Amino acid sequence: MIRYIINANKFNVLGSLLLKPFILISFLFLIMGLIFTFYISPSDYQQGSAVKIMYIHVPSAWLSLMTYFIMTIYSIIALFFKMPFGFIVNKAVAPIGAVFTLICIVTGSLWGKPMWGTWWVWDARLTSVAILFLFYLVIMFINISFENERVREKMAAIFVLVGSVNLPIVKFSVDWWNTLHQPASISKLSKPSIDPSMLTPLILMTLSFMFIGITIAILRIKTEIISKERVL
């Protein structure tokens, strides 16, 4: 199975098989998530309906980190194991991660205004997420800036590895420093502090975002593979 995610030709075959089912699954989870969000999930006693921004903010935050982590893995594969498919994946998914991060920042600001009284504060969590967004932008810029493709790909992969240092800071900043941002409501090591009526739509929206992201990633990776084949 591993060879299907580290080899361009194998991935192309797997991607073609998964594309249509993933599109269907994405829409199913999205529809169910929206139904639960707007018709079943209750409003918060303090925040009112504004709390429902969470169902966009939290999934996009998780997926912005997940996307960069995947890019880190493929950068290691490309640089240390000499597998060029890693460069293809990095170039294809960087814009997806950037969009998720931007959605996270925008929805966080919209959510923070009624709660904190301001659109933005330079605390540890928000600053580290802003830095993550900048890393995505720089990686995208590198991927279109240099004429020499080999130099461009290696520089982008190295920059991904440098930026990976920021991932634990984003994740654990609310635990390491005093921040306005609340701690995680869902943890692997403890029972979720969020009510099931709010947890269900959150999970559904996260799954929909995840499958949408994977579907777009498959399309972009297949496009990159085709463009490389034409050049060769």
Query: What is the average per-residue pLDDT within 97-121?
Result: 87
pTM, whole model, 2 decimals? Answer: 0.91
DSSP string, 95-143: HHHHHHHHHHHHHHHHHHHHHHSSS----HHHHHHHHHHHHHHHHHHHH
Distance CA 26, CA 38 (A): 18
153, containing H or E segment: helix 149-163
Predicted confidence band of residue 230 (pLDDT cuts 50, 70, 90): low
Contacts of 81 (CB under 8 A, 6+ apart): none
Using one digit for the tens of pLDDT, what is the confidence trace for 61-70? 999 999 999 9
* Cβ burial 75-112 (10 Å sphere, 16+ → b, else e): bbbbbeeebebbbbbbbbbbbbbbbbbebbbebbbebb
Using one digit for the tens of pLDDT, what is the confidence trace for 148-197? 889 999 999 999 999 999 999 988 876 666 665 565 655 544 555 677 88
pLDDT of residue 232: 46
DSSP string, 29-56: HHHHHHHIIIIISPPBTTTBGGGGGHHH
If we measure between CA atoms, which residue out of 28, 16, 21 comes closest to residue 208? Answer: 28
pLDDT of residue 189: 44
